[in-house]
Amino acid sequence: MAEANGPDYLDSLLERGLLLGTGQDGIYGRGADFEDVVERLDALIVRRWRTKDGAEPVRFPPMMPRRDIEASGYLHSFPQLAGTVHSFCGDMGEHREMLRCIAVGEDWTTNQKSVDLALTPAACYPVYPVIARRGPVPERGWLIDIASYCFRHEPSRDPARMQAFRMHEHVRIGTPEQILAFRTMWLERGREFAAELALPATVDLANDPFFGRSGEVLAANQRRQELKFELLIPILSAERPTACMSFNYHVDHFGQVWQMRTPDGAIAHSGCIGFGLERLTLALFRHHGLDVASWPEPVRRVLWDAA
Amino acid sequence: MAEANGPDYLDSLLERGLLLGTGQDGIYGRGADFEDVVERLDALIVRRWRTKDGAEPVRFPPMMPRRDIEASGYLHSFPQLAGTVHSFCGDMGEHREMLRCIAVGEDWTTNQKSVDLALTPAACYPVYPVIARRGPVPERGWLIDIASYCFRHEPSRDPARMQAFRMHEHVRIGTPEQILAFRTMWLERGREFAAELALPATVDLANDPFFGRSGEVLAANQRRQELKFELLIPILSAERPTACMSFNYHVDHFGQVWQMRTPDGAIAHSGCIGFGLERLTLALFRHHGLDVASWPEPVRRVLWDAA
């Protein structure tokens, strides 16, 4: 793999029509070949593990109640990445004023009102409050297969750092032992998955991009407790490989927030593993070339023939 | 089909786990069976018509540049339905104030800043500016296969009026003759599709829900010019059936906005046909029962066996 910075790789993807520019960094259309690979990866994840593991599929739209995001703690840790939904709630006079502002290029958005929705920041966030309403966590725990478009406000010309992207996750809720066994199993599966796709991967301890000065403490704690691992694949550089999967142990954080309890009355623990579908797709195009027809035969077999 | 108001049908869908409540009207999780039907409908639309018609698949995330929504005219016609994306852009002090507001239940959203993105109101809106950048419309015109989550700010307990829902469209750009031939063909296909799914459907002239007093004039014009037809299926009542497909002729509106021209130099015309995936799914559950295993054999064959 030749070295290239983000904008260079982005340009080659745009030239080939794999991504389509919209004029906003991190917001792209997906051309036929790019989307086909995303969909095949997604289908492969379903085909291989959903039935085998007995994971329950649940899907949400790319937005969720704002108060669930407030309760989740996301705004403590990542206020800069969150997106909220606002709408026009005025009368005809205010509408005329809005149109006047648009016509002369004045800012009309300060009159938009928050409508109690936030954009989904990671596919699993809407799951916990909905699952918590089912009552006590059963003995076997919960295992949910979830996928969704996610939003993070971080405009960038790095194609591996989109503002809107898809994440496919398995979410585990239960006892600490259940969560740790789940994560250990997926760390191994992640390595095997990358090998099967002929992608060079390493697994490493990681931390989330917590906001502000106190964020440094949170990041250090997360690393010390070994709560987050990532499967890293070089996309833009060999020195700074990109996280294409993550393996997370939330301890009892979501259990506390949503008061989820195991049958013995203890606060439930949770964890999730996530595939970054666009990032894995970018890694495949990076390592195997921009023409899917010339990808290595074993990789094509996994994605195309096994359906 | 027994009569039922929207909330009653919603309750039965929630009880069966077909939809999952989030506490926000019009924002639901999709349970395994509901999502499976949505995905099968979506796959059927692709399988049947994409290759046959030579439609180019393009996909966008559920948001798009705000200035494209401004240019499109959407905010003139439907300001009340549009959603814009806002984010926190402050420093650590402002973050502390945000967290204080959340903790005591004060409004913190007025400090969120617009980040130049709007939620996609209909699947085809992001397509026109991107296609326009390709230059002149070719002789054969453009035919795009597009699908996306869409947002409309209209909280309701009517399950057929969600705030976040999926639309699968074919978009045609070219001469007036090309657009009208496309729409005529799809009006027939729509009727056949409903019959195949054993859904009672009628096609009728329609208008969009334009905002305000001047909106009444726009709606009357739209009807007089026969620009919009809908395929209507009773979901909540026989008297007020629900639009599950629409067939739209935009005349030269988007051509003017994005300066798309046909080879003879004329402003291009455009049209689109759209499948409301959640609405079609709700119609199927309404007419064939909440247990997919007991759906009529011919319907099951179309959705399950033909894959």
Residue B186 Cα distances to A151, A283, B180, angstroms: 35, 39, 10
Check residues A1 and A275 and name the one with the higher pLDDT: A275
Check residues B94 and A305 and name the one with the higher pLDDT: B94
| Average pLDDT of the segment spanning B130-137 | 96
The pLDDT assigned to A305 comes to 77
Instruction: Answer yes or no: is pLDDT of B258 > 90.
Output: yes
Instruction: Answer yes or no: is pLDDT of B6 > 90.
Output: no
The nearest CA of chain A is from the CA of B70 a distance in Å of 7
The pLDDT assigned to A6 comes to 66
- Grouping H, G, I as helix, E, B as strand and the rest as coil, residue B183 is helix
Q: Which residues of A touch B130 (CB under 8 A)?
A: 20-22, 29
Chain segment B108-132, per-residue pLDDT in tens: 999 999 999 999 999 999 999 999 9
Nearest chain B alpha carbon to A21? B130
Query: Which of the four pLDDT bands, split at 50, 70 and 90, describes residue A130?
Result: very high
Torsion over CA: A55, B289, B277, B6 (sign): negative
- Residue keyed to tokens 């840790």: A77
Q: Please, are residues A10 and A160 in contact by the beta-carbon 8 Å criterion?
A: no
**In chain A, pLDDT over 90 holds for what percent of residues?**
95
Instruction: Answer yes or no: is pLDDT of A3 > 60.
Output: no
What is the distance between the alpha carbons of residues B134 and B300, in angstroms, rounded to a whole number? 41
Chain segment A222-251, per-residue pLDDT in tens: 999 999 999 999 999 899 999 999 999 999
> Any idea where the domains of chain A sit in the sequence?
6-83+121-305, 85-118
User: What distance lies between CA B249 and its chain's CA centroid?
Assistant: 15
Interacting residues of A144 by C-beta distance below 8 A, sequence separation 6+: A55, A56, A57, A58, A124, A127, A131, A170, A171, A173
- What beta strand segments (E) does B32-134 contain? 56-59, 63-65, 84-87, 113-119
The pLDDT assigned to A59 comes to 98
By Cβ distance, the residue of A67, A87, A126 closest to B82 is A87
Nearest chain B alpha carbon to A210? B92
Q: Which residues of B touch A62 (CB under 8 A)?
A: 61-62, 149, 164
Nearest chain A alpha carbon to B56? A32
| Average pLDDT of the segment spanning A172-201 | 98
Give yes or no for A304 touching B (CB within 8 A). Answer: no
| Average pLDDT of the segment spanning A131-147 | 97
The nearest CA of chain B is from the CA of A59 a distance in Å of 5
Q: Give me the half-sphere count of Cα atoms (radius 13 Å) on the Cβ side of residue A186.
A: 27
The pLDDT assigned to B305 comes to 77
The pLDDT assigned to B243 comes to 98
The pLDDT assigned to A44 comes to 97
Query: Which of the four pLDDT bands, split at 50, 70 and 90, describes residue A141?
Result: very high
What is the distance between the alpha carbons of residues B56 and B173, in angstroms, rounded to a whole number? 12
Give yes or no for A296 touching B (CB within 8 A). Answer: no
Give yes or no for B54 touching A (CB within 8 A). Answer: no
The pLDDT assigned to A307 comes to 55
DSSP-assigned states of every residue in A61-113: -SEEEHHHHHHHTHHHH-TTT--EEEE----HHHHHHHHHHHHHT---GGG-E
What is the distance between the alpha carbons of residues B91 and B89, in angstroms, rounded to a whole number? 7
What is the distance between the alpha carbons of residues A46 and B293, in angstroms, rounded to a whole number? 21
The nearest CA of chain A is from the CA of B156 a distance in Å of 13
The pLDDT assigned to B227 comes to 97
The pLDDT assigned to B80 comes to 96
Q: Please, are residues B256 and B133 in contact by the beta-carbon 8 Å criterion?
A: no
Q: Which CATH architecture has domain A6-83+121-305?
A: 2-Layer Sandwich (3.30)
Tokens encoding B143: 């035919």
The nearest CA of chain A is from the CA of B75 a distance in Å of 8
| A 113-172 residues inside an 8 A Cβ radius of B | 113-117, 119, 126-127, 129-130, 133, 149, 151, 153, 162-165
Q: What is the pTM of this model?
A: 0.96
Interacting residues of A158 by C-beta distance below 8 A, sequence separation 6+: A6, A7, A10, A236
Nearest chain A alpha carbon to B104? A70
Chain segment B215-239, per-residue pLDDT in tens: 999 999 999 999 999 999 999 989 9
A218 phi/psi in degrees, rounded to 5: -60, -40
- ipTM reported for the complex surpasses 0.90: yes
Q: Please, are residues A201 and A232 in contact by the beta-carbon 8 Å criterion?
A: yes
The pLDDT assigned to B252 comes to 98
The nearest CA of chain A is from the CA of B92 a distance in Å of 6
By Cβ distance, the residue of B63, B89, B153 closest to A87 is B153
Interacting residues of B59 by C-beta distance below 8 A, sequence separation 6+: A29, A30, A35, B146, B147, B148
Query: Residue A142: beta bridge partners?
Result: A173
The pLDDT assigned to A70 comes to 97
| Average pLDDT of the segment spanning B137-148 | 98
Q: Which of A6-10, A102-106, B30-34 has the lowest mean pLDDT?
A: A6-10
Read off the DSSP letter of residue B292.
G
**Quick check: A86 and B88 CB within 8 A?**
no
Q: Which residues of B touch A66 (CB under 8 A)?
A: 109
